[in-house]
């Protein structure tokens, strides 16, 4: 090969291992990822990269594994400021007696901005490059994520009753449609519709949400079949399971993301599979609130696209998606009574490519292949207490902690370098967080 055929590019990352996600089940060794602008132009052996590319910057990560950035498909980012505030309570007590009153007292645009930045810092530091948020003041969350350079699906809230963000469904839908219009073409922000749950959204606004989704192409995310009470109460009062009601209203489809799904029977799975709706598994929140167990293996075996989310830090209590993936893999084995029910490669696929599919962006995100956007993370596997490394995929799911992430790029822009965040001022953020904590402690003491 002559010098004339050498290609110039921006960044070359050399790594000991690389898990591309596509093709499935593959681990490559001594690979180089070549980044030009916002995208990946090549994933090739290091020797080939020596011959074919010259880059402005070369990063050598000889004890690391490279993989696509993680996609956290469900959360309430600003609730990080409520972390640990009302633990060890059942869901409805937690919501009615603690969370909703606290939200009424404290949630404001500044609360959302500070809580969202705290959540983004934690997610970036532990390997997440894209997150989905469903919370108040979504326009603030969108701007915060955009300014930080983090990808986010922003689901505006829709409920039957007034909140700090609006007076009711009419105002939520009006503001939400404006949010979709403002951010629809942005590469970082994916505006979406967030009807809270079947028990908080009646038929008329839910039908309007479906119409807005059809009109704009926006995704629709809803908490669904989260608890046994939700399903039994709906069956007793309405004569149908919540998912059947959604199907009747046209709310199940390829743009629908069903969060939790811990109470699932065969007919529910058939509905999900036939409509192409996606499921967001939040195992740690479901365990902590004693909500139930999502049958991950059964869903996947029937062709349902299963993704993963942390839920909010108030019910988890962290946003480390590697930890969530480990819990999902372990729990699936117990639920299915099968040690092979959710293998490590499948668990990583849930946290990457499956999330991209739910967002409708699998052509751009979710795997390390040429032509996709450069959303990449590097995890250091040199820790002596996880040695020896026979299979890096196994280590990432069963042994690793998210804070072993040392580097992160989104759109080719570094977000974490040598374990340090590049776009968030942590000392300044901590001052604001402590101010909120003091106010919340005072309220609890009163």
In the prediction, which pLDDT does 443 show? 80
How far is Cα 234 from Cα 133, in angstroms, rounded to an integer?
A: 26
Q: Which CATH superfamily groups domain 70-359?
A: Metal-dependent hydrolases (3.20.20.140)
Inform me whether the pLDDT recorded for 213 exceeds 50. yes
Under DSSP, the state recorded for 69 is P
Share of the chain above pLDDT 90, in %: 91
Instruction: Find the range with the poorest average confidence among 4-8, 156-160, 188-192.
Output: 4-8
The pTM of the full predicted model, rounded to 2 decimals, is: 0.97
Q: How many Å is the maximal CA-CA distance in the chain?
A: 76
Yes or no: say if 102 and 163 are a contact pair by the CB < 8 Å rule.
no
> What pLDDT sits at residue 276?
98
The residue written with tokens 């119409």 in the block is 211
Distance CA 249, CA 265 (A): 20
- pLDDT the model gives residue 119: 98
Q: What is the pLDDT of residues 8-45, one digit of tens each?
A: 999 999 999 999 999 999 999 999 999 999 999 999 99
Q: For residue 269, which of 244, 232, 249, 234 has the smallest C-alpha distance? A: 244
| Opening angle at CA 251, ends 236 and 299, nearest 5 | 80
Region 262-282: mean pLDDT is 97
User: Is domain 3-68+367-421 classified as CATH 2.30.40.10?
Assistant: yes
**Which secondary-structure segment (H or E) carries 332?**
helix 321-336
Residue 308: CA count within 13 A, CB half-sphere: 32
Per-residue DSSP letter, 423: S
CB 131 within 8 A of CB 152: yes
Cα angle 104, 133, 268 (rounded to 5 degrees) comes to 105
How many Å apart are CA 159 and CA 57, to the nearest integer?
49
Spatial distance between the Cα atoms of 168 and 158, rounded to a whole number of angstroms: 8
The position carrying tokens 């919501």 is 95
Tokens at 409, concatenated:
């790029």
Average pLDDT, the chain: 96
pLDDT given at position 402: 87
Neighbours of 227 (CB within 10 A): 22
User: pLDDT of 390-420, one tens digit each?
Assistant: 999 999 999 977 899 999 999 999 999 999 9
> What pLDDT is attached to residue 1?
39
**Residue ranges of domains in the chain:** 3-68+367-421, 70-359
pLDDT in tens, 52-96: 999 999 999 999 999 999 999 999 999 999 999 888 988 888 888
The structure tokens 């059942």 sit at 90
Determine if the peptide bond prior to 336 is cis (ω within 30°).
Answer: no
Query: What does the buried/exposed string (b/e) look like for 2-23 if buried means 16 or more CB atoms within 10 Å of the residue's CB?
Result: eeeeeeebbbbbbbbbbbbbee
Average pLDDT over residues 313-323: 95
Sign of CA dihedral 105, 224, 227, 238: positive
| Rounded Cα distance, 246 and 268, in Å | 11
154 has which bridge partners? 133, 191
Q: CA nearest 157: which of 221, 77, 99, 108? A: 221
């Amino acid at each position: 090969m002559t010098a004339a055929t050498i290609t110039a590019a921006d960044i070359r990352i050399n790594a000991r291992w690389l898990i591309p996600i596509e093709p499935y089940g593959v681990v490559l060794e001594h690979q180089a990822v070549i980044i030009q602008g916002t995208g990946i132009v090549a994933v090739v052996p290091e020797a080939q990269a020596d011959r074919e590319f010259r880059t402005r910057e070369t990063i050598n990560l000889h004890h690391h594994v490279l993989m696509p950035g993680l996609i956290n498909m469900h959360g309430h980012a600003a609730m990080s400021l409520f972390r640990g505030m009302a633990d060890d309570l059942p869901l409805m007590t937690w919501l009615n007696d603690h969370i909703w009153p606290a939200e009424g007292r404290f949630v404001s645009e500044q609360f959302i901005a500070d809580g969202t930045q705290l959540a983004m810092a934690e997610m970036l530091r532990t390997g997440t490059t894209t997150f989905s948020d469903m919370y108040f003041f979504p326009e603030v969350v969108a701007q915060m994520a955009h300014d930080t350079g983090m990808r986010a699906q922003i689901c505006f809230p829709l409920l039957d009753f007034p909140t700090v963000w609006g007076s009711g469904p009419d105002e939520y839908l009006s503001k939400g449609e404006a949010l979709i219009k403002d951010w629809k073409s942005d590469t970082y922000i994916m505006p979406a519709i967030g009807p809270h749950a079947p028990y908080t959204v009646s038929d008329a606004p839910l039908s309007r949400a479906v119409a807005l989704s059809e009109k704009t192409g926006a995704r629709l995310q809803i908490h669904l079949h989260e608890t046994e009470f939700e399903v039994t109460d709906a069956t007793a009062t309405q004569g149908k399971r919540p998912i059947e009601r959604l199907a009747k209203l046209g709310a199940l489809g390829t743009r629908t993301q069903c969060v939790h799904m811990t109470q699932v029977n065969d007919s529910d799975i058939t509905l999900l599979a036939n409509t192409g709706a996606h499921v967001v598994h939040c195992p740690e929140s479901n365990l902590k609130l004693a909500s139930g167990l999502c049958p991950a293996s059964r869903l996947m075996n029937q062709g349902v696209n299963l993704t993963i989310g942390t839920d909010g830090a108030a019910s988890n209590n962290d946003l480390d998606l590697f930890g969530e993936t480990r819990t999902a893999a372990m729990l699936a084995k117990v639920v299915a009574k099968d040690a092979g029910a959710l293998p490590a490669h499948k668990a990583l696929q849930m946290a990457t490519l499956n999330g991209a599919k739910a967002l409708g962006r699998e052509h751009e995100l979710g795997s390390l292949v040429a032509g996709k956007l450069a959303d990449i993370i590097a995890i250091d596997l040199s820790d002596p207490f996880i040695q020896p490394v026979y299979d890096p995929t196994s280590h990432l799911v069963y042994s690793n902690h998210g804070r072993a992430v040392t580097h992160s790029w989104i759109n080719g822009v570094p977000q974490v370098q040598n374990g340090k965040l590049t776009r968030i001022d942590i000392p300044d953020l901590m001052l604001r967080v402590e101010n909120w904590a003091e106010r919340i402690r005072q309220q609890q003491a009163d």
